[in-house]
């Protein structure tokens, strides 16, 4: 007999055992998947040395990974909405681990592209936020959804804090090939954690807009909403920032004469401080305007980058920047996903958030690839840093004018969405 749902189909309490287990398992899944992904920047120089690759070549593999991560996300989201998160997560974990093992045995740069670019890019779409948040969102009441999303997102940050230093130690002690094999073994844990994401037996989530409507109508209504478009634009900038810093920051610090450990600990600090940032932005998103919080977050990123560029560079300044930027790192995820859920409901949340995430990953492609391309041509990253500041300010303006109030079905029909 169920004890977590009352007779009228509403949650008996905000945090039932089912919800707590789902949030914990979702956070663990994102911890592993995103933690491994955020370690790839550490592999740029050792892989480049072994294969005689310029930074653009490795950065292009990461950029393709990010682009595929986004391109297939709406389709993976639709599969998850239709069939549930468990099967999608298990298949994704197997493909992810296989990609890491293939990269570990690579004998040519083309294999690195196939493994880390294509296979991992496809697998990421099935093992991260869109699938996990869609599953968790169906189990949590609206008043606590942003908080739950923040907790899951914090898992991705903890993964960065925990996994990146381990990856650096393995690279230094075992070599980059054995390090990749070790990271692949972590996905056995992810497969086990997938079973904690229970599919709800009833609509115990208090959802409102969009419940039960056909996917075609939901998509048409979303595409006709200017505010859905503004969410896409803001999340594009988020992807640019994260891919550039996550992929190139360790190498940038080495270029400036700092030891390699500074880059590894900088990425770890990004993850550590974003545990607090993701959770707090999730909590604040349940109490304050999500678009206004997004605006402040993007403006804060632009300010942090500007201060970092004008301050004298040292290990201390690099780590302070990483901590400050980390607090703002993935706070966009609970705010943006929460905005999509509030605007259009939960029935097609994974699909609609997957489309927004595609915009994020197009930004990620450009952030990773353009920085590598520019460095190989000029030997510095300065214009990419400046572009990051400008984009952050633009995203702040766009987010300020976004309205995430839900769009009633009648309004979508008036706008021309098919009935």
pTM attached to this predicted model: 0.73
Whether 399 is in a domain gets the answer yes
The total of structural domains in the chain comes to: 1
Query: Could you give the C-alpha distances from 233 to 150, 346, 392, in angstroms and in order?
Result: 21, 22, 11
Q: What is the distance between the alpha carbons of residues 279 and 281, in angstroms, rounded to a whole number?
A: 6
pLDDT in tens, the chain (419 residues): 344 444 344 444 567 888 888 888 888 898 899 889 888 888 988 998 888 887 888 888 888 888 888 788 778 877 887 777 888 999 999 999 999 999 999 998 899 999 999 999 999 888 987 788 888 877 887 777 777 887 887 766 777 678 888 998 999 899 999 999 999 999 988 899 888 886 655 444 444 444 556 777 778 878 888 889 899 999 999 999 998 998 899 889 999 999 988 988 898 888 889 888 888 888 888 788 999 999 999 999 999 999 999 999 999 999 999 999 999 988 898 899 888 888 887 777 778 888 888 888 899 889 988 998 898 889 889 999 999 999 999 999 999 999 887 665 544 444 444 43
**Are the CB atoms for 268 and 394 separated by under 8 Å?**
no
Q: What is the distance between the alpha carbons of residues 348 and 326, in angstroms, rounded to a whole number?
A: 30
H/E element holding 100? helix 85-104
CATH number at residue 114: 1.20.1250.20
**Are the CB atoms for 33 and 96 separated by under 8 Å?**
yes
Which DSSP string corresponds to 297-314? HHHHHHHHHHHHHHSPP-
Whether 5 is in a domain gets the answer no
Return the bridge partners of 11, or none.
5
Phi and psi angles of residue 5, each rounded to the nearest 5 degrees, phi first: -130, 135
Q: What is the distance between the alpha carbons of residues 130 and 335, in angstroms, rounded to a whole number?
A: 13
Whether 101 is in a domain gets the answer yes
**Are the CB atoms for 370 and 62 separated by under 8 Å?**
no
Query: Other C-beta atoms within 10 Å of 187: how many?
Result: 24
Q: Could you list the residue range(s) of the whole structural domain that residue 84 is in?
A: 17-200+209-414
Whether 12 is in a domain gets the answer no
Whether 110 is in a domain gets the answer yes
CA atoms within 13 A on the CB side of 395: 32
Q: Give the chain's end-to-end CA distance (angstroms, integer).
A: 38
* Radius of gyration in angstroms for the set of CA atoms belonging to the chain, rounded to a whole number: 20
Q: What is the distance between the alpha carbons of residues 51 and 165, in angstroms, rounded to a whole number?
A: 24
Dihedral angle, C-alpha 261, 264, 265, 269, nearest 10 °: 170
pLDDT digits (tens, 9 = 90+) for 233-282: 999 999 999 989 988 998 899 999 999 889 888 988 888 898 888 888 88
Q: What is the distance between the alpha carbons of residues 131 and 133, in angstroms, rounded to a whole number?
A: 6
Q: Which residue has the tokens 């201060």?
A: 307
Whether 126 is in a domain gets the answer yes
């Amino acid at each position: 007999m169920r004890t977590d749902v009352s007779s009228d189909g509403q949650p008996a309490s905000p945090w039932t055992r089912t919800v707590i287990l789902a949030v914990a398992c979702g956070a663990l899944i994102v911890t592993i998947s995103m933690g491994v992904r955020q370690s790839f920047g550490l592999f740029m120089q050792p892989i480049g040395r072994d294969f005689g690759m310029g930074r653009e070549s490795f950065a292009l593999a990461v950029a393709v990974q990010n682009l595929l991560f986004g391109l297939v996300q709406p389709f993976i989201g639709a599969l998850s909405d239709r069939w549930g998160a468990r099967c999608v997560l298990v298949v994704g974990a197997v493909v992810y681990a296989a990609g890491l093992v293939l990269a570990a045995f690579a004998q040519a740069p083309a294999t690195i592209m196939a493994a880390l670019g294509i296979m991992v890019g496809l697998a990421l779409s099935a093992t991260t936020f869109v699938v996990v948040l869609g599953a968790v969102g169906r189990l949590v009441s609206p008043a606590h959804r942003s908080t739950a999303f923040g907790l899951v997102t914090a898992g991705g940050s903890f993964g960065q804090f925990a996994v990146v230093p381990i990856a650096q130690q393995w690279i230094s002690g075992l070599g980059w090939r054995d390090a990749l094999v070790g990271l692949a073994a972590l996905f056995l844990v992810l497969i086990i954690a997938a079973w904690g994401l229970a599919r709800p037996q009833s609509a115990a989530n208090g959802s409102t807009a969009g419940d039960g409507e056909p996917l075609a109508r939901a998509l048409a209504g979303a595409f006709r909403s200017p505010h859905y478009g503004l969410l896409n634009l803001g999340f594009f900038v988020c992807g640019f920032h994260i891919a550039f810093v996550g992929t190139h920051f360790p190498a940038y610090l080495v270029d400036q004469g700092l030891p390699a450990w500074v880059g590894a600990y900088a990425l770890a600090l990004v993850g550590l401080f974003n545990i607090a940032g993701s959770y707090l932005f999730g909590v604040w998103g349940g109490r304050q305007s999500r678009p206004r919080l997004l605006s402040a977050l993007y403006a804060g990123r632009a300010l942090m980058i500007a201060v970092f560029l004008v301050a004298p560079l040292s290990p201390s300044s690099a780590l302070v920047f990483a901590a400050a930027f980390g607090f703002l790192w993935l706070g966009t995820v609970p705010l943006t996903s929460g905005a999509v859920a509030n605007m259009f409901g939960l029935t097609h949340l994974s699909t609609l958030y997957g489309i927004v995430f595609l915009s994020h990953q197009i930004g990620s492609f450009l952030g990773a690839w353009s920085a590598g391309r520019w460095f190989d041509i000029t030997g510095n990253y300065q214009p990419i840093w400046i572009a990051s500041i400008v984009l952050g300010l633009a995203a702040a303006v766009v987010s300020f004018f976004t309205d995430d109030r839900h769009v009633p079905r009648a309004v979508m029909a008036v706008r021309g969405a098919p009935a």
